Structure 1
Amino acid sequence: MDGGTRAQVGHFTSEAAEREFRAAYDTAMTLWPPHDTIDVETGFGITRVYRRGPVAGEPIVLLHGHGANASTWYHQVAELGRHRPVYAIDTIDDPGGSVQRRPVTGSGDAAAWLSEVLAGLDLTRAHLVGLSYGGWLVLNQAVHRPERLASVTLLDPGGLEKVPARFLLGLFAAVFAMRAPASWRPPLARLLAVHALVERSEIMDPVLLGAHAFRPHRSPARRFTDDELRRVTVPTQLILAARTTLMRPARALARARRLLPLRHSEIVPGIGHAIPLEAPDLVTDRVLGFADRTADQI
């Protein structure tokens, strides 16, 4: 097992907890505009995918962060879907619509799983976008199985640096802060740079229920080696948050510029780790613009 995986097939601690989660998850997906639901069979289980947009065009594929689900892209999907086919994937071993049957034991398995999903969707050239752990999966794909990728966009991704203790401590602090009176949450969100404290309850309810009742826990995403990052040849866009606690953004950006084929990179001032939720229009603009600039390039 390497970092960024669960040791066993993900599962809820009880049927009651799973029912409560499913109800909350269904409510979260009502924030999406009309869309299609696709279940893709893979060697690791059934992967839930949501689709919106035209038939033609190189698609955009979205991968959410750890413990979340596709609903968290609700800000972006309508506008992205006006221009290109857009697919949002529920990671196979996170609580969501996917049904896992076999563990993902490391980087090779993670890349194999995502390749099977892209093949099952009949996507031969996709613009892959990921936040946090989803960004780790995107970067991992570019390292190990890039053959179906047209470009990658990394939003405050795992893998550029070792996950620091302060990030994990921040998650625990956020859980306690969620119990604070509603009037306290905006200042706490600013202080801790944790947008979850002020995000819509429809989005946060399934995430919190999953954090409480979905096991086993995932190990922190591992740092990719210099040699691995040098293997990436896919056009890459990197967007970091100035107030992220996942890494030291200036140092991570310097490493990425040294090792990755970056076509665009920036550090967004004033925001924390949850870039698509805190700067939704910026993410939509950057994703569409990068897909347009790299479309059909060989």
Structure 2
Amino acid sequence: MRTGIAAFVTEQARTAFEREYERAMALWPDSREVYDVDTDVGITRVYRYGAREGEPIVLLHGHGANASTWYALVEALGRRHPVYAVDTIDDPGGSIQTRPVRDISAWLEQVMEGLGLGRVHLVGHSYGGWMALGLGVAGTGRAATLTLLDPGGLLKVPMTFLAYLVAGALAMQAPASWKPRLARVLAEHGLVELPEIMGPVMLGARWFRPHRPPARPYTDDELRKVSVPTQILVGRRSRLLCPAAALARARRLIPGLRRAEVVPGAGHGLPQERPQLVAERILTFTDGGKAHDA
């Protein structure tokens, strides 16, 4: 439940963001298509790329990000599937919110209905993983599989995660020669990410107000409703999750869990830190490869 409407604090901030956002989206293949889907809470921007046939893969980004952050995966995924990347309605991106979001799963269902999609393979990172998991809890039948990348919803967001976000933002001001070392110490890939990607993220963090609470952990009873085939990837150095505790709870409660993996050396930003590994895991899982618990 949200009570406010996400927006930039000034029109000048929105204009500056839009310039950076277009630079970031230019990292996608030129043949991408753009859709603006009308929903009860506003216009949702969606990008499509890839195969014309097959079960679609729908990508849900993390908090404060946008569809551009999937740039390193879309080409590999698109060779075998249609790929749709959604700009979450109350994050800084191409979507425009006009009413409060009462039910985020209902909004996501409206987006996919508006795109004319049937069953889809949902892939969510961080807050996007929380949304994907929520659709599994709702049991709408829309999801063919769930791939959750260092997702919210398994454990309570720790205060240390917020502290590392602040530390990472401060470290962005450090000299460029310091950033690789700081990225290793803080497990913060954003310090060495392409400036095209970080430009809109940093402007959004400064000038955009999302008006929503942190992703709450789903209850035991809710997780027991997730029967759709699910795989979870967690970074060994994740600042959002304790890998052992998160996967232990998932194994104990999620009946649809087929695969769980801790990625050595990786932090919270799995799609950007390990794009080839993530793309391979998605395709193996969605295409019916042998499931196993790593």
**Shorter-normalised TM-score: what interval?**
over 0.9
CA–CA distance in structure 2, aligned partners of residues 78 and 148 of structure 1 = 24
Equivalent pair of 2:8/2:207 in contact (CA under 8 Å): yes
Aligned mates of 2:3, 2:238 — CA distance in 1: 27
Residue aligning to 2:62: 65
What is the distance in 1 between the residues matched to 2:140 and 2:211? 28
Deviation at 1:153, TM superposition (A): 0.3
CA RMSD, Structure 1 to Structure 2 (Å):
1.0
| Alignment: residue pair count | 287
Supply the AA of the counterpart residue of 1:87.
Answer: Y
User: Do the aligned residues in 2 keep the contact of 1:67 with 1:95 (CA within 8 Å)?
Assistant: yes
Give the Å deviation of 1:56. 1.0
| Partner of residue 211, structure 1 | 205
In the alignment, which residue of structure 1 is the partner of 2:109? 115
1:226-272, Cα deviation, whole Å (9 max, x unpaired): 00000111000100000001011111001001111211110001010
Where structure 2 has 5 or more consecutive residues not aligned to the other structure, the ranges are 290-294
Amino acid of the residue matched to residue 92 of structure 2?
P
Instruction: Report sequence identity in percent.
Output: 60
For 2:4, which of 2, 5, 8 is the aligned residue?
A: 8
> Post-superposition, which runs of at least 4 consecutive aligned residues in structure 1 deviate over 2 A?
none
Q: Counterpart of 2:287 in 1: which secondary structure?
A: helix
- Structure 2 counterparts to residues 192-211 of structure 1, below 5 A: 192-211=186-205
Choose from 122, 134, 154 the match for 2:148.
Answer: 154
Cα separation, 2, equivalents of 1:20 and 1:184? 27
The answer on whether the counterparts of 1:36 and 1:51 sit within 8 Å (CA) in structure 2 is yes
Greater shift, 6-15 or 24-33, is seen at 6-15
Quick one: distance in 1 between partners of 2:258 and 2:224? 15
- The partner residue of 1:250 within 244, 248, 253 is 244
1:269 is the counterpart of 2:269 = no
Contact 1:115-1:145 at 8 Å conserved across structures: no
Deviations 1:31-85 (A, max 9, x none): 0002000111111111100001122100100000000000000000011111110
- More displaced 10-residue stretch of structure 1: 240-249 or 138-147: 138-147
Residue 146 of structure 1: CA displacement?
3.0
SS at match of 2:288: helix
1:40 aligned partner? 37
**Is the 8 Å Cα contact of residues 127 and 151 (structure 2) preserved in structure 1?**
yes
What residue is the counterpart of 1:282 in the other structure? 277
CA contact (8 A) 2:152 2:217 kept: yes
